[in-house]
Structure 1
């Protein structure tokens, strides 16, 4: 492997050298003070406020390679931006260079082969729009302005995961630019060790510029949406929910959400601000089957609001967009649990009642189904046997109240600690090396560090849930 680095760190390149890089790019190079700098340094999480020295808005693979080589030559810290949606804000850095892939929007769907080739700047909603034209989809999160790249490299949860698996379970190949600027392909037949690692190992091994996915028949209509009850009924709802999903079909994926009712057009004025619990469902079989499967949930207790009905898959995919816009302040803690025990339910109820911010949420993802039927060692993703995944969001509109929401999230996470069985790496904040090791488990972590040593021995790609190279 050719090493192009100088061991200098954060040595500002001279202006003439920067001009040379700018002229070499088909995209554009943005510097502090340039028009658009403020816009392009911002990321989704408003609590992240960093000032890169350069933003290279890459238009293709050649731009990515040039930007990496420039960063290596000048010892610049590298941040890689796809959708800019990481919770800890790894998509931007102070002083270094952001390799911004957001201009790379190519999507090519082959409806006969049921595959799609997708460039790294594509957002989930953009991918869904193209694939749904042919009644096809790949597991793709729950917020449409999330980037395909980051979601996929960490594993990829979504509304169709129990039927069709994680996003990585539908990944056929990647094109990746390594730390020394080489372009390689990884698949089940080429660079198989790297292909194992990118399926869950994040952006540790290089910059993926293009993904190839297997697509699955979905929609165009699904039976989906939330059913809401008063928070006072949360314990009874959760006990019912646990029994109801015990033998549910793979076509059904659910997320339980506790929060204060948002001020949205579909929410009656008298419910806005009230503490509620919702079970949000998506059934990807026939609409008739979906109605039959979900009927017991819709008729349980006394729902305050029922928005679960037949709807286009694209509409359901965008349902959470309004609740997680760009610029709000987000803090998350996360963990997997093996089962929804009475004690776990009690913790959920207690902390659900303590929610103060109108945009804080306590979410519980149902796992299992196709996710659990992939062998634990087939990909770097860890936690195939998880029963549920918690996403504990302590959020505020601005800095006002953010400390309190962050402490609420930490308190909820700590209360659940005796029941932790793992964690989904895409839900981690900047929590340190040992936490990353826990996310993969000792055996996978050691395998990943060895892979890192082969593909990125100098840890150029370290602004991520970092896996350092083995010594």
Structure 2
């Protein structure tokens, strides 16, 4: 297909450098990403996606796939290539009887949350409402409901996928089962997902967020007690810690019955106060939708960003000491979020997502505005996260940076990686979809 053929075929909009809206369309969440695709196609339907894939193949163009644009590396923005912009395909349809949601590939998490909560339903959908459903889910999909209902990928019933040959497939446990397995955690390596079908769960829409901040002098004792309480926490509770310049915030997020949550938080507060006195206490009752948007401003667009992540299978005393040994300037803020519960109920072999035995996910995240600070802020985050590498058991594929094959080996078990490579060989042997955390076909 020629350039003129692309313009004539697409039902949506084709943008090229110099067109009105081009610069806005190429801008993504991480303000460090400044690339210029040759074409940005704002797809109106699955047929547009098929046309893009075939055009890219015919013209030997790199392909980036954009939804929310939250990937830290900015893979969506294919420099001098073709960006498939799925955002116009952002619809969500909920069937409250079957408890199913059909979600187009360009939808944001907030759209899914709002549509489902109209019927008293929800499914695991991250922590920030302007994240794309597609990228989150294909990499696994952690969220405040994961300990109750599993990861986002565990809740996918079926996918509509455009493959590297331009074929459109309906993929489920019964149809193309190996591809279905790979799409649940293997990232965007195997095609463009134009629709997800999710299982939904009854949720009352009530939540509580509790945090108790301790100065560094007393935080080791408090963090050890917080860790011990997390091990026996109900599945409605997701323990969370934030380590920053002002101290160490230890708490939990509760989604479920408000009275039960208040009792759990009262117990946590009493246990923590027994070993150390917090200097700030915060207990906030929220609706589920408020919970899902409370980090939207903090995680807003345009900031320059860098992060490093680890999985920890346990939070031993030595690791806690290392986490709290923060010396130097420009150190990143750190989050720890508890896994377990329904996440661990699924065996590693059941989906491509690896690391089901993770106890806590660690992310060290920096954000700033001045490009002159890039090297300094990135170096500080790398240095700090590097001191913790000896404790790590792997990493979440959705927080990998430009780590290449080493990152892929951290994100997937050896067995899962072999199986993912076989699926790549079957569905994308030419590696058309390589702008991602790439699982290379066996041919190289």
Q: TM-score range by the shorter chain?
A: over 0.9
When normalised by structure 2's length, the TM-score is 0.96
For residues 54-112 of structure 1, give each alpha carbon's deviation from its aligned partner in whole angstroms, at most 9, with x where no partner exists.
00100110000001100000000111111111011111021000011011011000111
**Any unmatched runs of 5+ in structure 2?**
none
**1:421 alignment counterpart:** 393
1:337 to 289, 302, 312: 312
Shift of 1:420: 1.1
**2:330 alignment counterpart:** 356
2:381 to 395, 398, 409: 409
**1:456 alignment counterpart:** 428
Is 1:238 the counterpart of 2:223 in the alignment?
yes
1:256 to 233, 238, 241: 241
**1:7 alignment counterpart:** none
Aligned-partner SS, 1:407: helix
| Separation (CA, whole Å) in 1 of partners of 2:228 and 2:26 | 47
Aligned-partner SS, 1:212: strand
2:299 to 324, 330, 333: 324
Shift of 1:152: 0.1
On the 8 A contact 1:281/1:308 being kept in 2, the answer is no
1:292 to 231, 241, 263: 263
Shift of 1:322: 1.5
1:433 to 405, 418, 425: 405
Shift of 1:114: 1.0
Is 1:22 the counterpart of 2:11 in the alignment?
no
Shift of 1:242: 1.0
For residues 302-345 of structure 1, give each alpha carbon's deviation from its aligned partner in whole angstroms, at most 9, with x where no partner exists.
33333323210111111111111101111111111111111111
Aligned-partner SS, 2:217: helix
| Separation (CA, whole Å) in 2 of partners of 1:132 and 1:177 | 30
Distance 1:385 1:355, change over 3 A: farther
**Any unmatched runs of 5+ in structure 1?**
1-12, 261-274
Aligned-partner SS, 2:49: helix
| Separation (CA, whole Å) in 2 of partners of 1:54 and 1:385 | 42
On the 8 A contact 2:137/2:185 being kept in 1, the answer is yes
Is 1:134 the counterpart of 2:119 in the alignment?
yes
Question: Pairwise mapping of residues 10-49 of structure 1 onto structure 2 (< 5 A)?
Answer: 17-49=2-34
Is 1:163 the counterpart of 2:129 in the alignment?
no
Shift of 1:287: 0.4
Distance 1:79 1:339, change over 3 A: same
Question: Pairwise mapping of residues 14-413 of structure 1 onto structure 2 (< 5 A)?
Answer: 17-260=2-245, 275-299=246-270, 300=273, 301-351=276-326, 354=328, 356=330, 360-413=332-385
Runs of 4+ in 1 over 4 A off after TM superposition: none
Shift of 1:354: 4.5
Shift of 1:279: 2.6
Aligned-partner SS, 2:368: coil
Q: What is the count of residue pairs matched by the alignment?
A: 439
For residues 395-443 of structure 1, give each alpha carbon's deviation from its aligned partner in whole angstroms, at most 9, with x where no partner exists.
2123242322212211122111111111111010010113212311221
